[in-house]
Each structure stands twice: as C-alpha cells, then as structure tokens.
C-alpha cells in the first residue's frame, strides 16, 4: 500500500529518485523559477543548456502539484480541435501553435530517451473514446482535420474501439498514434535529474513568500534565504498562490481524482491490451489506463470522497463493472486528486506580469506536453529570444468572471456525479 504521505500512486512507484535539497543560503542567478513541475523543470533544463544560471524554488517537493498527480497521458494538441485553434488565433499563429503542440509528445519522448528517464513510457497512442453518438461526430470532425494535416490518427468504429479497449460501452474512438503514457512523477523527477546535470540549482521546501523589484533585479524571499534574479518564471499553474496579486483569479481551479486497483495480472490482459491511455467525450470527463504493474487507474473530475470503501471507490467499482462486466470484483490500492487550471476558452496563456516576469498557465488538464514545450520556450526567450517566437501571444492577466461561483458549482456537480454513478 502507498504510504499515507504519498501524493499519488505515481509518487510511490516512480523509479526516479526524489530530490530533497533545502535552500539555506542567499543566491544570485540569471533566472529564478518558482515551481518544480513540468514547466519549471523544463525551463530549468533548457535554460541551463543555453548557458544560463538558473535556480528552481519548489515550495514542497518536486512534482507536488499537478505534475505528480497527473493521469499521465502525453497527448498532442490542445483541448480544442485544430480548426478551432486556428479560428481563435488566426490562420498563421493558430497553425503554428497546432504544429508545435501536435509535435509535443514526440519532443517529450525525445527528452525521455536522451536523458534515459525511467517513467514507464508507452508509445502506443491514446484513445479519445466517444461516450455518445454526438461525441463520435465530434471525434470524426477532429480526425478529419488532423488527417488533413498529416497526423497519424485513426477514427475507430464501435467494433474497432471495442477491440482496442476491451469494452462495448463506447460508440467509437479516435486513436492518436503520436501520443503515449508515462508515470508522470517519474518524468518530472527525471527532468530534475537532467536539469541538475546541466548545471541548474534546484531546491525543495523553498516557498517564495515575496517577489519584489529591487533595482535591476527581482528579489525572491523564502523563510531562510533571498534569491536575486534578472528574470523570473512562475511555473505554478493550478497551484498558484497569492505571490503575484490577481494571478490565481485568472483561472477556475477544478479537482480531478483517480482510483487505482491492486495489480490484476492476467485478469486485465484483454483491457487496453496495447496500454493506450483513454479519456472520453463526456462533459464530466473520465479517464482510464492500465499501468506497468497491470493496475487499472480510473478517474474523473472532482475530489476523492471517502477512504477505503468510500464514495470514490464505490464510483470506481461501479464504472469498472459497467465497462468490463467480465472483470468481476476488484480491490483498490489507493486514490488521490489534484488540481487543474481551467480557462473559459480552454486555451492556456503566457502572461508577462512585469518586465522580466512571465508565467505559462491554464493548461486545462493538458500539462505534460504543453508544460514541457512552454518551459523550453521560456528558456529560449530569456536566453535572448523574442516574444513573437513564443507558442502563444503574450497577454496580461484578466480575472476569470465569477471564478468562485464556477468553482463551487463544478465541485457540487462533480460530487453529485459520483453519487449518481455509484448507485
């Protein structure tokens, strides 16, 4: 059983070693990165490779936020279909973003290979499963456009989806061969190892309490030290606190929970036999994957409710019975939840908060590839690049309308969904 202090199954099972490195002295650096997740560690790795001195300040432990609690699907693109992304940004800028993030999984996998990151990588794609005929029509629209762009995607019929998934519950699916799955904590710890090897300084238990301009540098105060930096990247996404006034009001935080079975061995040989990760087209999305130890990991929007035999475990048992009636009763090993930063248009942002202070934020549950790509882009910008070369146009911060009301409504709806689907 995972320890009660573990963040997630991934925290407990990651092959890459955790890092404990308190900050006890004052530092001067080119770039201070606040947050030790995908974005922060990618920024650090690429900045160090560009010859910059970079320091990462993580308030708790590496991967404490969404990076260590993630489903682990390395997906291509954004939440929106590519044609909608181009409509939003204009043909030229939108097409460039679609291309960059379409190639995102390949770049993530190249880093894993280059740095020999032990994170249980699979390269068999992911399946976006149609929960309804309407969902299937949406997937057909996505597939048509991705194929026009030359992407290796396949629209699966109901029968083909059943064969790939091992369940008759879906109306079809979209198989994206660019994508894959990982142990996300293994990946972020591997990025940490690679960044340190490149020369980055990385510290844990170093919560930044204040960030102020002091002449031509930024001064970051922690409980025990002061860091002075020419530039700052806030890489905290859904776990953003009040360090920069108004930033956490720019998105709606929602929880996403997961429940993992005990290893099931041959009992799950026919379920996701090629180990693709899966998520569906429902408004209250759910996800499913089979990990390297043959656990089934199932999740949905909302928080873990109850412990052993609690509501979330009952929900998971009911869903697995619906999807795989042949499976029979299962025992659960652990459950956890994390936060997602949702934007109204489902598109992330890159904000310039002040001269030399940037934040990529609002990944809408797509943190692995975009976080890695945006971190690389931050490093290239701060190494002397131009803002026009960033994946997204730089914007200022705007508060999300009715943020608290929306967050409360979603939490209530997600809890009700667990109750209804547990009966």
Can you give the pLDDT at residue 269?
97
pLDDT, tens digit (0-9, with 9 covering 90-100), for 385-394: 999 999 999 9
pLDDT band per the 50, 70, 90 thresholds, residue 423 = confident
Instruction: Give domain status of residue 380, yes or no.
Output: yes
Residue 153 β-bridge partners: 176
Instruction: Give domain status of residue 53, yes or no.
Output: yes
pLDDT, tens digit (0-9, with 9 covering 90-100), for 332-341: 999 999 999 9
Same domain, 29 and 147: no
Can you give the pLDDT at residue 2?
40
User: What mean pLDDT do residues 130-158 have?
Assistant: 97
Q: Which pair of tokens denotes residue 65?
A: 């936020």
The answer to whether 335 and 304 have CB atoms below 8 angstroms apart is yes
Task: Classify strands 252-261 and 153-156 as parallel, antiparallel or unpaired.
Answer: unpaired
Alpha-carbon torsion (411, 413, 418, 423), positive or negative: positive
**Burial of 26 by CB count in 10 Å (0-12 exposed, 13-18 middle, 19+ buried)?**
exposed
Q: Report the predicted TM-score, pTM, of the whole model to 2 decimal places.
A: 0.97
Q: Which pair of tokens denotes residue 39?
A: 């974005």
Same domain, 148 and 201: no
Same domain, 35 and 150: no
pLDDT over threshold 50, residue 51: yes
User: What mean pLDDT do residues 25-44 have?
Assistant: 98
Instruction: Give domain status of residue 92, yes or no.
Output: no
Same domain, 244 and 194: yes
Domain of residue 155: give its range: 126-177
Same domain, 158 and 201: no
Backbone angles phi, psi at 93, to 5 degrees: -70, -40
Same domain, 25 and 143: no
Same domain, 231 and 355: yes
What is the rounded distance in angstroms from the CA atom of residue 62 to the CA atom of residue 202? 9
Instruction: Give domain status of residue 405, yes or no.
Output: no
User: What mean pLDDT do residues 393-401 have?
Assistant: 95
pLDDT, tens digit (0-9, with 9 covering 90-100), for 169-228: 999 999 999 999 999 999 999 999 999 999 999 999 999 999 999 999 999 999 999 999
Q: Which CATH number do you get for residue 370?
A: 3.50.50.60
Same domain, 34 and 157: no
If one counts the domains in the chain, the total is 2
């Amino acid at each position: 059983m995972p320890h009660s202090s573990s963040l997630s199954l991934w925290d407990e099972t990651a092959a890459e070693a955790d890092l404990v490195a308190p900050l006890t002295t004052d530092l001067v650096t080119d770039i201070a990165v606040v947050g030790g997740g995908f974005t922060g560690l990618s920024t650090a790795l690429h900045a160090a490779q560009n010859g910059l001195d970079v320091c990462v300040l993580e308030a708790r432990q590496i991967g404490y936020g969404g990076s260590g609690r993630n489903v682990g699907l390395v997906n291509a693109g954004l939440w929106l279909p590519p044609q909608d992304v181009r409509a939003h940004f204009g043909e030229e800028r939108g097409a460039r973003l679609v291309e960059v993030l379409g190639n995102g999984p390949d770049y993530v996998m190249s880093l894993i290979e280059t740095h020999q990151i032990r994170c249980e990588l699979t390269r068999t794609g992911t399946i976006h499963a149609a929960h309804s005929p309407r969902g299937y029509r949406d997937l057909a629209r996505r597939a048509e456009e991705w194929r026009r762009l030359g992407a290796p995607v396949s629209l699966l019929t109901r029968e083909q989806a059943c064969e790939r998934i091992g369940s008759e519950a879906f109306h079809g699916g979209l198989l994206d061969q660019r994508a894959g799955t990982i142990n996300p904590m293994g990946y972020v710890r591997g990025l940490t190892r690679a960044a340190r090897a490149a020369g980055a300084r990385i510290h844990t238990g170093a919560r930044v309490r204040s960030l102020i301009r002091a002449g031509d540098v930024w001064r970051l105060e922690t409980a025990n030290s002061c860091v002075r930096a020419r530039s700052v990247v806030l890489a905290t996404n859904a776990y953003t606190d009040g360090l920069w006034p108004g930033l956490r009001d720019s998105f709606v935080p929602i929880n996403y929970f997961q429940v993992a079975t005990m290893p099931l061995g041959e009992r799950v040989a026919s379920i996701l036999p090629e180990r693709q990760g899966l998520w569906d087209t429902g408004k209250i999305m759910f996800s499913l994957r089979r990990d390297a130890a043959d656990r089934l990991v199932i999740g949905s929007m909302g928080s873990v409710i109850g412990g052993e035999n609690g509501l979330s475990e009952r929900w998971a048992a009911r869903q697995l019975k619906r999807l795989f009636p042949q499976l029979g009763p299962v025992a659960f090993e652990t459950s956890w939840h994390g936060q997602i930063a949702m934007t109204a248009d489902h598109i992330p942002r890159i904000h310039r908060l002040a001269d030399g202070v940037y934040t990529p934020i609002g990944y809408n549950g797509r943190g692995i590839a975009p976080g890695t790509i945006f971190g690389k882009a931050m490093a290239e910008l701060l190494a002397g690049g131009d803002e026009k070369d960033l994946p997204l146009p730089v914007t200022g911060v705007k508060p999300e309308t009715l943020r608290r009301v929306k967050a409360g409504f979603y939490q209530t709806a997600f809890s009700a969904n667990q109750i209804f689907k547990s009966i």
